Structure 1
Amino acid sequence: MTAALAAGTELTLIGATRTGARRYRAVVSDVLQDRIVLDAGDPVDLPASGSCASFLHDGKLFACEIVAGGGSQLTISRPDDVDADDRRVTRRIATSLPASLRRSNLGGPVQAAYVVDLSLGGAKLLTEELEDGLGVDHEVEVRMGAIATTAWVRHVERHANPKLRYVGIEFGPMGEAARRHLLETVGSLRAGMHRWR
C-alpha cells in the first residue's frame, strides 16, 4: 500500500533517544524527493541524526532514518512507498479572519484578503484579482496575524463577483514562531475562538 503525505499531515514518529524509545506527534512541513521534513513540536530529547526510526500513518508503519534535526524540526528519509500529495488532508476549519498576500519577488502591491478556511497545511483565501495575475504554482507572500510565510498557489477559482477570486494555497516551510502561532490559531478556531493568536 502506498501512502500519500502532504504538508500539514499529522503522524506518529517513533524514535530512539538516550532514555529509550519515544513517540512524537509530528506534523509534516514538507515532502521532498528523498526526505520528509517534520515539526515535532517539542525540541527536548529528539532522536539523534543517523538513528533508525519509524512512523505510523493511516494504520501502517513505515521504516525511516533520522537525517537531521534542529530545534523542533526533524528531517527523515522518505520511504519508497510514500508519495507527495498537494491536497490538504488535515481538517479544514471555516473562518473569516483577515489576511494579505502578494506575488513573491515582484514587489507588487499587498492585496487584502480573508481566510475562508484554514488547516495546518494551507488555506483558502478570498481576494480581489491581483494586478500581476495569479496562477497555479505561483509563489506568494502571505501574512495572517503574527504569521508571515511564503506559500504556493494550488488552485484559483472564480467567485460569483467577477472581481473576486478564491485562492487555495499550500504553506511553505515556517519558522518555529510562525508554526507555533499557526498551531495555536487552529486550536483556538476548533475551540470556537475566531482570532489570530
Structure 2
Amino acid sequence: LVRRAKLQRGETLLVHGAAGAVGMAAVEIGKALGATVIAVAGGETHCETARRHGADYVIDHRQEDFRERVMKFTDGRGVDVVYDSIGGDVTIQSIRSLAWEGRLLTIGYACGTIPDIAANRLLLKNASAMGFNLGHFFGWSPGGNRRQHIDALDEMAAGVLDLYSKGQIKPEIGARFPLPQFVDALDAVINRKVDGKCVIEMSEEDY
C-alpha cells in the first residue's frame, strides 16, 4: 500500500477479502494511513470482522454487487486504490471501480483465475495496474540484489511494527491447529472458515 500503491491520507481504498489475515491487515493499515476504507467480504460474520477492524463501509459480495455499492459510497467517483487478492472478474470490476488516476494493486488470485486486463480500461481513466510480489524480496524471483532485498524488507517490517506499537494494527488469530492437523488448517483457510490468521502450533515433539 505504501511502497507500490502510494496510498495517501484522504484517499479511498477498496479491500477485497477483508476478513482474511492479509485483507484485515490492509484494512487496518489503510485506516492508519488516513484513508477511507471500503471492505468487501462474504457473509455477515466476515463482514462484521471487517467492521471491527476499522472499515468505514462494508460490502457483502454474497448479497450485493460490490461495484454498484462502491460507486454509491463514492458518489460515482470511484476509489483511488484497490487492494486485490482475489483475481478473476473481481479484478476486472475493480478496474471499472477506479477513480481518475486510480491504482489497482494485485497481490494474488484466490479465486484461481488470473485475469486478462484490457489496457483500454486503464487508458480511459489514466489508471495504473501494478503487482506486489513479496517473494521477490526473499530472492525467490530474479532482479535486484541481496542487500537491496534486505533493506526493503527491513523498511517494510519497520513500518508495520511502528503501526503495531502504536496500537493501530491488531492482528487477529482466528484459529489454531497443532502441526499434525496441518491439512485441516489448510482446508479451513481454503474454505474461508477462518477470520484473520490461522496459526500452526508446534510442540517440542514436532521439532
Question: How does the TM-score come out when normalised to structure 1?
Answer: 0.27
**Larger relative strand fraction:** 1
Q: Comparing both structures, which one devotes a greater share of its residues to helix?
A: 2
Compute the TM-score of the two structures, normalised by the length of structure 2. Answer: 0.26
